[in-house]
Structure 1
Amino acid sequence: MTTDRPQALRRASRASTAVRRAVDGLRARLATAGGPDDGNAVLEFLGVALVLLVPTVYLVLVLGRLQAATFAVEGAAREAARTAVSADDPAQASRRAAAAAGIALRDQGFDDDPSSALTLSCSSSPCLAPGSTVAAHVEVVVPLPFVPTFVRDVVPLEVPVSADRVAPVDTYRARP
């Protein structure tokens, strides 16, 4: 079986020339096809970035505010219970607890009235009796940021955040 080598080389040369012509033609068509669409990629990128970026930034703002509220109510409940059990009488205990809760709430940027956000309860009839416990419950309502008031009137757009803490009254303290 002998093949005619020059004939095979001519066929391969013709095929490679045809492929080169096809590639050159495709390059020419691609070079002229993109003319009227120049610059659209920038606009598309900006549009997609806005659609994705604005909700993401809003979500970060909302989650940050909710986390601040969580820190505020946890700290307020802990400090309110601790200061209440160290007081000498129940009236002084509520004043001290409200002051401590107010400091903890203001520290995280919440200007809520501590006396309305705080609820104290005692486990025994004489509150602050040795061996009893004092429970503090703090609740703050966090409005969602940048929501207009006319929408708030129709749909409740706020998240309540609360925390509870129980502190024991020292067993060996003198009776009030």
Structure 2
Amino acid sequence: MRRSNPSIEVSGDADDRGSAALEFILVGLVLLVPIVYLIVALGMIQSQSLGTEAGARHIARAISQAESADDARRSANLVLESVVGEYGMDAATVDFSLACIPAGSVCPSAGATLVVTVRASVALPLVPPILGLDQVARIPVEATSAQKVSRTWGTP
């Protein structure tokens, strides 16, 4: 005796057919676009953070190893230009400051501890320059490095 398979009935409206692909595309775009933007923005911020850290460290080392104040200033500017170019930083937003410990002494001086701070700001991607939004949508990054200057610094 041969048995036949019972027919399978599909419940639901015929209007729902094909909507899963549309929902997948819509939800995928709604979730994917912000995630990609976040990854790009965080990558840019991380790159600038690494650049400011490298700049602070190398400027402190260059100044502490220079032979005179003029040579220290020249070395610091060359290092800063190199770091700005290497990390693709906006040169207009990069600045560094120099302080010495103990305070009140001529900076740099023999035996002092140099404290170099490099500051920059990262423009968020895809922000239009309308109404100054590109200036508002900036993330500040900062790095500090300390370096001890030799007690024989500046002596011939």
Normalised by the length of structure 2, the TM-score is 0.83
Once the two structures are TM-superposed, the CA of residue 67 in structure 1 deviates from its matched residue by: 0.4
Once the two structures are TM-superposed, the CA of residue 166 in structure 1 deviates from its matched residue by: 1.1
Once the two structures are TM-superposed, the CA of residue 127 in structure 1 deviates from its matched residue by: 2.9
| In 2: Cα distance, 1:122 partner to 1:175 partner | 18
The residue that corresponds to 1:20 in the other structure is none
Normalised by the length of structure 1, the TM-score is 0.75
Q: What are the Cα deviations for residues 127-147 of structure 1, in whole angstroms up to 9, with x where unaligned?
A: 333211222110001011101
Count of matched residue pairs:
149
Q: 1:120 to 1:154 in 2, by over 3 A?
A: closer
Q: 1:150 to 1:46 in 2, by over 3 A?
A: same
Please, which runs of 5 or more residues in structure 2 have no aligned partner?
1-5
Rg: which structure is higher? 1
The residue that corresponds to 2:130 in the other structure is 150
| In 2: Cα distance, 1:78 partner to 1:126 partner | 21
Deviates more, 1:56-65 or 1:34-43: 34-43
Once the two structures are TM-superposed, the CA of residue 92 in structure 1 deviates from its matched residue by: 1.9
Which of 84, 88, 100 in structure 2 is aligned with 1:122? 100
Same amino acid, percent of matched pairs = 32
Please, which runs of 5 or more residues in structure 1 have no aligned partner?
1-23
What's the C-alpha RMSD, in Å, of the aligned pairs?
2.4
- Asked if 1:28 corresponds to 2:9, the answer is yes
| In 1: Cα distance, 2:117 partner to 2:10 partner | 73
Moved over 3 A (4+): 151-155
Question: In 1, are the aligned partners of 2:55 and 2:83 still within 8 Å (CA)?
Answer: yes
| In 2: Cα distance, 1:85 partner to 1:66 partner | 29
Higher relative contact order (CA 8 A, sep 6+): 2
| In 1: Cα distance, 2:10 partner to 2:33 partner | 39
Once the two structures are TM-superposed, the CA of residue 87 in structure 1 deviates from its matched residue by: 1.2
Question: In 2, are the aligned partners of 1:77 and 1:165 still within 8 Å (CA)?
Answer: yes
